[in-house]
Every structure is written in C-alpha cells, then in structure tokens.
Amino acid sequence: MPRNKRKSPGVRKSAIDDDIDVGARLRSLRQIYGLSQRELARRAGVTNGTISLIELNQTSPQLASLKRILNAFPITVAEFFTFDLQSRDRVFFRQQELTEIGGGALSFKLVAAQRHDRRLQVTHEIYQPGADTGHDMITHDGEEGGVVVRGRLEVTVGEQTAILGPGDAYFFNSRIPHRFRNPGEDECEVVSAATPPSF
C-alpha cells in the first residue's frame, strides 16, 4: 500500500508568504528608483504585463522569477522581503524628525536614521563655543565632507589644520585621523555628509 506523502515544510517555490504584499513592495521599489513598468520589464527580460500582474497581486511569481526582476535593482531577495516600505518611501524629513546622536555641547542630528539601508550619512551639526569632538582623533572607513553654515570650525586632518568660516568647506578620506572644534564665541553650524555611514 502506498504511503501518503507529506509536503515538505521547506521554502515554497512559488510566491511567497501570503501575508507579504509582493505587489506593493515591487511597485514601491520601482517607484523609488524612478522606473516605469515598461522599463523594469525591459531590464528584467520579462513582459510589461508580467510586472503589472505582479504589482496588482493577480499573479504570484516564483522565487526564481522574482530574483530575475530584482536583479534590475541593487537589492537582494532577502532585503526585498525585509525593507520597511514606509521608511524607504520617505523623501522629506521635518527638523523635529531628525535623530539626535550627539549630546552636551555637540548636537549631531542624523537625516533618515530609520533607513538602515542608506549608503550616505547626512548630519546637521551644532557646536557650542569651545565644543570639541575630543582630544583623541577619529578614524573610520570612507570619505566625508561638509560646509560651514555659520560660526567658525577648526578642522584637523592628519597634520593639517584650518579654521573655516561660513561658506567654507572640507572633504577628506576619513581613514586619516581627524578632529573638529569650535574655537569661536558663537555657535557653529555645519551640514556634513559621509559615506559609508558611521552612525
């Protein structure tokens, strides 16, 4: 007598957990990267109708098909299923929504801190008079730059030191030991960027 075969509890070949809105995720991802359905279909080597049906949740792609479509983006299948749709869609951030990562005489407010996939760190910095990032020099992988908005900022990079005023800027390889200090009697405001993010 033939034994009953039980289904394997492994990964389903066709799509994906019913609780996951694959269509909404694909549509959101496509819009983030500014692609039309036609352009995404062309890049993925599928028909325009296939993309439309997936986004409308009228068809459920097999994992291999989904991977082929996602190759059009810099994203893995795992990232596709775990990224926060709401935070990836965010483009604008009000001042009160920036995340404070400094403290005391130094205020470092990070833009889009909730975006764990970001490849760029943008920070709004306020240095109180005499504020300093510390006597120990900072090093980390990547590059960073910034523009002084108001006040004065002393920037030390390796053996080079300069005092910058409003409109002045800096840019350097952040593997070189560096330090920032406000040598003036007024607040110093800076907008900086670094890649990859260190916070």
Q: Which of 123, 118, 152, 156 is nearest to 139 (CA)?
A: 156
On whether both 133 and 189 belong to a single domain, the answer is yes
CATH number of the domain where residue 105 is located: 2.60.120.10
Q: How many helices (H) and strands (E) does the chain have?
A: 6, 9
Question: How far is the C-alpha of 175 from the C-alpha of 139, rounded, in Å?
Answer: 5
Is 135 contained in some domain? yes
Is 12 contained in some domain? no
Q: DSSP 3-state assignment of 132?
A: strand
Is 65 contained in some domain? yes
pTM for the whole structure = 0.62
- Please count the structural domains in the chain: 2
Predicted pLDDT of residue 62 = 85
On whether both 118 and 184 belong to a single domain, the answer is yes
Mark which of 89, 116, 143 sits at the end of a domain. 89
Is 5 contained in some domain? no
Question: How far is the C-alpha of 84 from the C-alpha of 86, rounded, in Å?
Answer: 5
pLDDT tens per residue, range 52-97? 999 998 988 888 889 999 998 888 888 788 776 666 667 888 898 8
On whether both 142 and 158 belong to a single domain, the answer is yes
Percent with pLDDT over 90 in the chain: 55
Mark which of 89, 113, 145 sits at the end of a domain. 89
Please tell me which residue, 178 or 6, carries the higher pLDDT value: 178
Q: Is the pLDDT of residue 8 over 70?
A: no
Is 2 contained in some domain? no
Look at the block and give the residue holding tokens 């920070």. 123
Q: 88-116 burial, b for 16+ CB within 10 Å, e for fewer?
A: beeeebeeeebeeebeeebbbbbbbbebe
Question: How far is the C-alpha of 184 from the C-alpha of 163, rounded, in Å?
Answer: 10
Q: Is the pLDDT of residue 193 over 80?
A: yes
On whether both 144 and 186 belong to a single domain, the answer is yes
Q: Which domain holds residue 66?
A: 22-89
**Residue 181 has which token pair?**
């200090």
CATH number of the domain where residue 41 is located: 1.10.260.40
On whether both 104 and 121 belong to a single domain, the answer is yes
On whether both 68 and 152 belong to a single domain, the answer is no
On whether both 99 and 154 belong to a single domain, the answer is yes
